[in-house]
Amino acid sequence: MMEVAIIGVDLSKNVFQLHGSGADGATVFSKKVSRTRFLSFLSRFPSCIVAMEACASSHYWSREIRELGHEVRLIAPIYVKPFVKRHKNDANDAFAIAEAAARPTMRFVEVKSEAQQSQSMVFRTRELLVRQRTQMINAVRAHLAEHGLVVANGAVHLEKLRQRLEDASEQIPEIVHDMADLYFEQIAGHTQKIKELEKKLQTLAKNSDEAKLLQTIPGLGPITAIAIQAFAPALTIFKRGRDFAAWLGLVPKQHSTGGKQRLGKTSKAGQRDIRRLLIIGATTVIWWARKKGAPRHPWLEEILARKAPMVAAVALANKIARMGAHHSFGRFRLALWRGRTQNR
């Protein structure tokens, strides 16, 4: 039987589709394997390349497969799609994954550690609670507006809305009071949980040398630092700071041909959580820079004179991302230099 060089795996909940290819690209096997038998099936093969799409549970399986001695390659689904032949099914998807993994110029996704995924869970949970709290605030504002109680937008004005409800207790039906109190109670509970998670994120940032280093950059706080640490690969894998900014999608989208450079809107091709937080941080820096008595920033002033504030915020976010990558490069080079001097 031909020796297997690459095994493409199409992951699912319970049944996985596997496609084995030889060194010349010829098909060796195409087989369905249950979740419980997946690792035992792979353990039969000598060390080879196991490729999967970077999707749900792929990082967990990657760590388990590495324990078996195989090399794992995770591929973004958008890079696998061109290799799917005609109809989409599990067998064709597994074949396409194996084909994509064999390309010498293919870009792969770094496997996340268990610690990274734990940090990302804290971050995602906080984001979910913030969205749910916003939904409840909007709902109670809409319901009370039907009874003539209106305040300005924003969570900071919620207590004013509650006070107006109490002042108009005689004009508002009792059931409206009961439902509104239910909303206010849930909002208060979510606010308390959000504060607890923010403290946990701040603690994680304090205990991480990389997060401390990133927080020295203006506009980059503990939550953004933990997001970079949890969702981004090691910044040292990027050749330069511009590559990290491009990975985040903070560069113009190109549609160039015939030697003519056509640059469009921001590509938004990368990790959206980090990109959003960097833009929010850049907006805060711009707000502080416009205050009276603030230190001068010639580069930022020149950008604001030519571009709209949001465009300037994206440009500044790009600059912050590049600075973050350079900070990590410097720390990596310093550690490398110290290691070399100690070996001498």
pLDDT at res. 329: 55
- What is residue 98's three-state secondary structure? helix
For residues 207-225, give the mean pLDDT: 89
Q: What is the CA radius of gyration of the chain?
A: 26
Residue keyed to tokens 């032949």: 85
Return the CATH number at 46. Answer: 3.30.420.10
pLDDT at res. 330: 52
pLDDT at res. 340: 42
Asked if residue 15 belongs to a domain, the reply is yes
Q: Are residues 223 and 300 in the same domain?
A: yes
**Mean of per-residue pLDDT scores for the chain:** 89
- What digits encode the pLDDT tens for the residues 264-278? 888 888 889 999 999
- What digits encode the pLDDT tens for the residues 296-324? 888 888 998 998 989 999 999 999 999 88
Asked if residue 1 belongs to a domain, the reply is no
Last residue of a domain, one of 42, 69, 102: 102
Q: Lowest-confidence range among 47-61, 154-168, 179-193?
A: 154-168
pLDDT at res. 218: 87
Q: Are residues 181 and 123 in the same domain?
A: yes
For residues 88-108, give the mean pLDDT: 94
Asked if residue 167 belongs to a domain, the reply is yes
Q: Are residues 144 and 198 in the same domain?
A: yes
Asked if residue 195 belongs to a domain, the reply is yes
Q: Are residues 200 and 214 in the same domain?
A: no
Last residue of a domain, one of 78, 102, 126: 102
Task: Tell me the whole-structure pTM to 2 decimals.
Answer: 0.83
Phi and psi torsions of 57, nearest 5° = 70, 0
Task: Tell me the H-state helices in the chain.
Answer: 38-42, 58-67, 77-80, 90-102, 114-145, 158-167, 174-206, 209-214, 222-231, 241-247, 272-289, 298-306, 309-343
Residue 337 has pLDDT above 60, yes or no: no
For residues 329-338, give the mean pLDDT: 44
Q: Are residues 196 and 241 in the same domain?
A: no
Q: Are residues 197 and 237 in the same domain?
A: no
- What digits encode the pLDDT tens for the residues 285-297? 999 888 877 788 8
Residue 106 has pLDDT above 90, yes or no: yes
Cα separation values, 217 from 10, 38, 224, 325, Å: 41, 45, 11, 11
Asked if residue 186 belongs to a domain, the reply is yes
Q: Are residues 193 and 121 in the same domain?
A: yes
pLDDT at res. 237: 83
Cα separation values, 104 from 99, 247, 318, Å: 11, 20, 29
Measure the CA–CA gap between 165 and 159, rounded to whole angstroms. Answer: 10
Residue 332 has pLDDT above 80, yes or no: no
For residues 130-139, give the mean pLDDT: 96
pLDDT at res. 331: 52
pLDDT band at 328 (very low <50, low <70, confident <90, very high): low
266 and 252 in contact (C-beta within 8 Å)? yes
- What digits encode the pLDDT tens for the residues 5-30? 999 999 999 999 999 999 998 999 99
For residues 186-215, give the mean pLDDT: 93
Q: Are residues 118 and 97 in the same domain?
A: no
- What digits encode the pLDDT tens for the residues 111-133? 999 999 999 999 999 999 999 99
Q: Domain residues for 291? A: 209-255+266-343
Last residue of a domain, one of 206, 225, 241: 206
Q: Are residues 118 and 187 in the same domain?
A: yes
Asked if residue 150 belongs to a domain, the reply is yes
Asked if residue 260 belongs to a domain, the reply is no
Q: Are residues 95 and 183 in the same domain?
A: no
Q: Are residues 214 and 301 in the same domain?
A: yes
Q: Which residues of 299-329 are buried (b: 16+ CB within 10 A; e: fewer)?
A: ebeebbeeeeeeebbbbbbbbbbbbbbebbb
Q: Lowest-confidence range among 43-52, 188-197, 325-334?
A: 325-334
- What digits encode the pLDDT tens for the residues 47-87? 999 999 999 899 999 999 999 999 999 999 999 999 998 88
C-beta atoms surrounding 133 within 10 Å:
20
Asked if residue 109 belongs to a domain, the reply is no
Q: Are residues 202 and 226 in the same domain?
A: no
The DSSP call for residue 258 is T
C-beta atoms surrounding 165 within 10 Å:
19
Residue 18 parent element (H or E): strand 15-21
Number of domains in the chain: 3
Share of the chain above pLDDT 90, in %: 62
* Cα end-to-end distance, the chain, whole Å: 50
